[in-house]
Each structure stands twice: as structure tokens, then as C-alpha cells.
Amino acid sequence: MHQRLLRALQSVANVRLVAALRDDRLAFPKTELRVFIPDVHLISEQRRIQGGFRYSTNHTDLLTRVAVALKNLAGQAAAGETLITYQVGDLFDLWRESSGLDNQVDIAARIKLDHDRLIRALFDADLNTQFLLGNHDFDLYRWPNYSGWARRYYFPRGAPQAVLLHGDIFDWIERFPDGIQDLIVFLFSPHAKANQYALGRMHDKIRLTHAGNPYTAFLQNAKAASLGALRSVDDGIPSRWNVQQDTSLFLNAAYECCHKANTEYQMNLKVAVIGHTHHARIAVKESPDGELFTLIDCGAWIEECIADGDGGPSPNAQIAALGANEARIYQLSPLRLVGQADSLRPIVNRLSGF
């Protein structure tokens, strides 16, 4: 299924490999492929101009084509096969869209109007995207239309081995080590569902973590995120490519949270999938007894990245996938941009808000 996904992506985009990990210890169902679309941060065009933001969403037309390709791929799955698409949070950027939030006004509605094709593709019932709440669109929980959006998913069903989170909880752990244990329960316990009080406390913690950032020059990364060396997918996918280890951002925090969940709730979490950092990477922690813990950070569709050997930064446009015994992250770019034109894309991106 990984190869069919790659062919589908190549039908709409130039594709390079950011990272890959093939290891029997992952051991997910061979008949299930999970695809992750990370942070998008949509805002309305009017607000983009008014706010003077340096960054807006990268390649919205390309992301629309990706969503359509994923829907078609899901429809072509063989009997017993499943392709599940997740949007990993921060689809909308409510913080940049409005300086104040009114519980009676759906701020996301005006963002949707300016990105109608993309929204229709992501919300297509045949794609059946599963949506997470990120820190920038967490306030959506206040409106009934988004009551089905979650703060975490476990998979596979029955015997979960992985947790999908937006990733901002690890900011809390880094900055506020005390006083968040009860919130961790709501995010990691398979039995607890966050009530309105807990959701309100999460909202306050999220806001406190990001207080003071106007988000005009950057959202997460003031400089382009370093991806290391990217690889042509035409050269084949190695069993390990660009896999980081122990010192990688949030790796230890994710490991400790999953270890705690495994101990307290008799789970077997060995993979955490996140967005939030806007820095695509796969990182692993291997114990002396052969246990493997994997962090898959899916990247973003906003801000910039830079690869070893590239002449300059490029817009983040990443897709991650996990299935069977393999995880991959790809960097995409529009098919119409080849060669020298790619080096002009960051400039075009900032001028057009594309």
C-alpha cells in the first residue's frame, strides 16, 4: 500500500523522501495504511493582508489535488484494505484570523469561504478525513459543527500501538512541568473523555504557552527547518533514511508519556505521531533489550524547510504515512515547478499568500 500511495502522490506532485523507517518491530496491520496531513494554518485572504503575515499556507492547490488523489486511492483499495487519512490539527488558524473569539460566531466559516476547493476536498465523505484539534484551532471545540474533532486517536483498534496527537502537549511538558498531570490523563487515558472543564483548562494552558507571539514573522520556526539530505524516490526507499535518535525534540517527552500510559492503562504504545513543530522528521529510541519507540513528526504546510544540498529554503509541504512495518515522510512540490523555478517558490509564496 505504501507503493500505491507513492504512485498516487507522484501523479500530482514532485516527491522527495524526507525520512523512512522499515522495521519489523513496528508491526502494524498490512491491510491498513494511515496517511497524515500536518499543520495547514488556513486564514482568510482579507486577514492575511490586514495582518501583514509573512507566511500563509503553502501550495493550497497542490494540497487539494493530494486530497483528491487520496480519496481516489481509498476508493481503489482491495477487499479488506483500508486507507485512513488524518489531518493532524491546526487546519485553521483562528489565532491569526481574529484577535478575539466570540462563542456565537464561527470564525472558521469565513476562512472556509476563501479556501472552498480545499475544504470540500478534505471534508469529502468518500475521503472521510479524521480531524484533530491543534493549538491554533482548539477553540473549535466550542462549536457543535466540530464536536467530532478529537484531541487524540489510538490505533489500530483493539490493541493500540500508536497515539496520534497534535503535539502541543509536549510544549506544556517542556515549559510547565508541574500541574498538568490531570490533563495528561485526558490525553493519554483510553478511557477518559475530556469534559468542558478539562477542555477549558487545556485552552488556558495552550494560550499561556504561546502568549506574546504575534505570529506575524513566524509561527513555530524563525528559520527554515533543517531536513537533512532528501532522497529521490526513484532511487528506491531504503529501510532507514534520515532517522534521528535520542536528542530529537520531544522524543523523550513522547516516550515518557507513552511509557506512563502503558504502565497505568496496560497499553502497548510504541509510536507517537505528531504535528505542531513544523519540522518533519522520524526519531527513534531503542532500549538495550531491543524495544523500539518511534516519534513521527509529520511536518507542515506552512513556513519553510531546507535540505542539505539545496540552494535555499523551500515551502514546507509534507505528507507522512504509516502501515505494516514501515513509516515514511515525503516532501512535495507542484509538478509545474521544476529546476530553477523551485528556488523562486519561497518568494512567490510570501507575495501571493498561496
What's the confidence (pLDDT) of residue 17? 98
Model confidence pLDDT, tens digit, residues 220-235: 999 999 999 999 999 9
What is d(CA 161, CA 327) in angstroms, rounded to the nearest whole number? Answer: 14
Cis peptide bond upstream of 156, omega within 30:
yes
Model confidence pLDDT, tens digit, residues 83-121: 999 999 999 999 999 876 655 567 889 899 999 999 999
Per-residue burial over 140-166, b if 16 or more Cβ lie within 10 Å, else e, is bbbbeebeebbbbbbbeeeebbbbbbb
More confident residue, 172 or 331: 331
- The model carries a pTM of 0.91
* Domain coverage including residue 166: 2-352
Count of domains for the chain: 1
CATH number at residue 139: 3.60.21
